[in-house]
Amino acid sequence: MRSSRSSRLLVLGFAAAMCGGSIAVAQIAKTPPATQFSWSDASLSPDVRADLVIKEMTLDEKISLLHGQNRPTEAQTVTRSNGGAGYTVAIPRLGIPSIQMADSAYGVTRGAAMGRYSTALPNNLGAASSWDTAMMRTYGELIGDELRDEGYNMTLGGGVNLTREPRDGRTFEYMGEDPLLAGTLDGNVEAGVQSRHIIGDVKHYAINDQESGRTAVNANISRRAMRETDLRAFEIALQISHAGAVMCSYNRVNGVYACQNSYLLSDVLKGAFGFKGFVLSDWGGTHSTVRASHAGLDQEQPGDYFYGDALKKAVEDGRVPEAELDDHVHRVLRSMFAAGLFDDPGKTQVPDVEKGYATAQHIAEESIVLLRNEHHVLPLTGVHRIAVIGGHADVGVLSGGGSAQVNPPGGSAVPPQADKGVLPVSIREAWMPSSPLRSLREALPGAKISFTSGDDVAAAESAASKADVAIVFVYQWESEGLDLPTLNLAPEQNKLVESVAAANPRTIVVLETGSPATMPWVDKVQGVVEAWYPGIRGGEALAEILTGKVNPSGKLAITFPESDADLPNPNLVTPPPSSQPHPPADKKKRAEFMKALRYGLPAFQTYYNEGLKVGYKWYDAENKPVLFPFGFGLSYTTFAYSDLHVTAGKAVTVNFTLKNTGGRAGTEIAEVYAALPPAAQEPPKRLVGWARVALLPGETRQISIPVDRDRMTIFDVAQDKWELAPGSYSILVGSSSRDLPLTRPLTLP
């Protein structure tokens, strides 16, 4: 894979200079030799070891593990924060290390700001469009390695909220709209993180589907819909990863805050799912002491407003039983033991920058989705003059904002916007220094490639008219704390595409977005490529795809609707003035706001009446046409499906033949769906399996995909259990949710 020597040297020099002895890392308190403790025996289970520790702990020491530390006292510890989002103090007397937490959705954040280098991977929704479980484990392993290198031992990534509202400002952090796909991929990410002796985290639990008024919104949804969709994704992710932590969300669910919702935390998560780790609140998402403790919240972050002195007093008064307190402490310690924090604490060092580059580029190449390719406008072969237009493609690629923002090495390739007042610095557009223009010029040295900013539409039209092919880069920035008002691009970007396409019919559009985008111009262009936020090597990956050195294989993990009007809730629910999602700038009013936030802002309502019909299930059930369906993605070759056979045993085995009918090697993502009997009262079909299959030109292969029966069950709320509905099932196989040429009936006893 190609790389830019100048960009490599920039980052290597930055990392070396900033990761020298000046890194701000946690001071580790001197602890007694581990061998003196009974719980130092690694052959014991994490549960046994945790209980041995608890027997020796004082009440104050127990309380100290159950909240973040804005102001640790000398009596507790001499450790301090490593510069991450949160931490708990060490207890040197007992050899208990601190938990150092860092946001790390698509890479470790606060990197450059703390004098560190972190690899910006493609964003989570983009990576999910690879449908590649092994690669997602690699994704997590890289994040785990860099967390460990930077002195952290817990991730705050792991977003798996299903996309009920694609305009949600954090759609780019999640894994799409299907519970099996999202849960499986996120589970593999967290398994990869934990393999590096880092506590994994799955978030935001639950029904956290919008940023507008997220601390006040009440999500109204049926229990069956929750269990079969949003909560099912969490369940699958936890089954695969055995993550040590789950972060509960800001919002209310059916009238009760998620971080003190006993149905979510105790009945489902710790009961039905059998979750053995600890539940921590989102930052400032704790609203009570006794009620939250009874409901199953184990740790308050980032401070100790409810789980500090207030919790201690509640235990002393008997309002929180000691056994309940010990369960909270046990869960935290158990996760620490299970992740290896006691046995293998690691050491800080400079991350392997070259490894991060290579991994990021490979993931981007598998994640980019080719959506349109009329007249085989791609790949760029035999092209002599190319006009690259817009999207800051001369200097970099876009990234997502908020707590997931990975600092671009050397600063944003595009100067940041002016101060937005009370919004934090992370909520700014930031561009990774990976230029698609430069990479295209390196990949096609014989072609004349011009660049026009797109600010002057007439200049863009002129450049396009003189070129064999025009490539227009457009983008939609997303960030935590801000929902998109629409899936439509900015009017000036749509106008730019239409003007360029009028000047040159051989126009290709490259989108850098974190959500679906509507495309009023789609029939006027010949090529469309969804690049997502492609990370630190996004420009290089795009050049490999556009020039055909890499055959695209990504498929959409989310439906692209034709317009906002086609969404289940077309009118985005926004908070009233009394439920502002961001604190005011005035210090006095800010203090009043934060106090109100702790006790709960006035609720406003959103209703997920679509229920089971999330994503493609909604468009199928409502017979709505879509721009591009879930599971869709083109290749530079073609594939044919035939000979479907379905066998029902303990698992359902789906066998079929897949052939590469084109002239070059390629990878197909073959998808398996099930249509349930009418008695199930389900949407028309659901994803139950898939396989990534690499085939040479003309190669034929027999594919076998096992499908667990539980992937076809429905949740019976009255009996609180999963069951198979009576009647005839169907198995459907093909290349997307709306291209399923093979169908066979199935009877399940």
The model's pLDDT over 261-307, given as tens digits with 9 standing for 90+, comes to 999 999 999 999 999 999 999 999 999 999 999 999 999 999 999 99
pLDDT over 60 at 18, yes or no = no
Shared-domain flag, residues 390 and 363: yes
Of 351, 335, 320, nearest in space to 97 by CA: 335
More confident call, 740 vs 17: 740
Helices 353-367 and 5-18: angle between axes, nearest 10 degrees = 130
Contacts of residue 443, Cβ cutoff 8 Å, sequence gap at least 6: 2, 543, 544, 546, 547, 549
Radius of gyration of the chain (CA): 26
In this structure, what token pair is assigned to residue 594?
Answer: 């934060």
Please give the Cα distance from 420 to 404 (Å, whole number): 18
In this structure, what token pair is assigned to residue 340?
Answer: 């290896």
pLDDT of residue 116: 79
Of 687, 557, 566, 556, nearest in space to 624 by CA: 566
In this structure, what token pair is assigned to residue 449?
Answer: 């490639």
pLDDT of residue 112: 46
* Average pLDDT for 681-696: 98
Of 739, 726, 108, nearest in space to 409 by CA: 108
Can you tell me which residue has the tokens 């006095």? 588
Please give the Cα distance from 170 to 64 (Å, whole number): 31
The strand ranges marked E within 390-468 are 397-399, 430-432, 448-452
Shared-domain flag, residues 483 and 509: yes
Domain count, the chain: 3
Which of 33-37, 404-408, 705-709 shows the lowest mean pLDDT across its residues?
33-37
Shared-domain flag, residues 327 and 432: no
* Average pLDDT for 93-105: 95
Please give the Cα distance from 621 to 625 (Å, whole number): 11
End-of-domain residue from the set 565, 589, 605: 565
Q: Give strand pairing partners of 452.
A: 389
pLDDT of residue 9: 36
Shared-domain flag, residues 492 and 433: yes
* Average pLDDT for 515-541: 98
Contact (CB, 8 A) for 259 and 269: no
pLDDT of residue 486: 97
pLDDT over 50 at 189, yes or no = yes
Contact (CB, 8 A) for 68 and 300: yes
* Residues comprising the chain, all counted: 749
Q: How confident is the model at residue 591 (pLDDT cuts 50, 70, 90)?
A: confident
End-of-domain residue from the set 291, 308, 339: 339
Of 436, 443, 438, 342, nearest in space to 383 by CA: 443
Shared-domain flag, residues 265 and 413: no
* Average pLDDT for 29-47: 77
Judge whether 606 lies within some domain.
Answer: no
pLDDT of residue 70: 63
In this structure, what token pair is assigned to residue 333?
Answer: 């310690």
Q: Give strand pairing partners of 299.
A: 280
Helix (H, G, I), strand (E, B) or coil at 372: strand
Contact (CB, 8 A) for 8 and 357: yes
Shared-domain flag, residues 419 and 453: yes
Helix (H, G, I), strand (E, B) or coil at 677: coil
Shared-domain flag, residues 651 and 534: no
Which of 4-18, 204-218, 390-404, 476-490 shows the lowest mean pLDDT across its residues?
4-18
CATH of the domain at 675: 2.60.40.10
Judge whether 632 lies within some domain.
Answer: no
Q: Which of 21-25, 283-287, 419-423, 426-430 has the highest mean pLDDT?
A: 283-287
pLDDT over 80 at 582, yes or no = no
The strand ranges marked E within 545-632 are 560-561, 604-607, 626-628
CATH of the domain at 407: 3.40.50.1700
- 716, amino acid identity: D
Shared-domain flag, residues 329 and 362: no
In this structure, what token pair is assigned to residue 565?
Answer: 């009007």
Shared-domain flag, residues 280 and 423: no
* Average pLDDT for 108-137: 89
Please give the Cα distance from 520 to 565 (Å, whole number): 14
Q: How confident is the model at residue 520 (pLDDT cuts 50, 70, 90)?
A: very high
Please give the Cα distance from 724 to 711 (Å, whole number): 10
Contacts of residue 458, Cβ cutoff 8 Å, sequence gap at least 6: none
Judge whether 625 lies within some domain.
Answer: no
Express each pLDDT in 442-456 by its tens digit: 999 999 999 999 999
Judge whether 593 lies within some domain.
Answer: no
- Residue 52 burial (10 A CB sphere; 0-12, 13-18, 19+): middle
pLDDT of residue 7: 43
Judge whether 484 lies within some domain.
Answer: yes
Q: How confident is the model at residue 72 (pLDDT cuts 50, 70, 90)?
A: very low
CATH of the domain at 139: 3.20.20.300
Whole-angstrom CA distances from 498 to 375, 523, 535 are: 19, 10, 28
Of 397, 444, 430, 432, nearest in space to 543 by CA: 444
Please give the Cα distance from 21 to 180 (Å, whole number): 45
Helix (H, G, I), strand (E, B) or coil at 387: strand
Contact (CB, 8 A) for 455 and 430: no
Express each pLDDT in 535-579 by its tens digit: 999 999 999 999 999 999 999 999 999 999 999 999 988 887 666
- 291, amino acid identity: R
Shared-domain flag, residues 289 and 391: no
Q: Which domain holds residue 560?
A: 357-565
Shared-domain flag, residues 530 and 647: no
End-of-domain residue from the set 513, 539, 565: 565
Contacts of residue 167, Cβ cutoff 8 Å, sequence gap at least 6: 210, 483, 484, 485, 486, 487, 515, 564, 567, 572
In this structure, what token pair is assigned to residue 721?
Answer: 């259990």
Please give the Cα distance from 103 to 402 (Å, whole number): 10
Judge whether 577 lies within some domain.
Answer: no
Contact (CB, 8 A) for 144 and 194: yes
Shared-domain flag, residues 318 and 380: no
Q: How confident is the model at residue 216 (pLDDT cuts 50, 70, 90)?
A: very high
pLDDT over 60 at 407, yes or no = yes
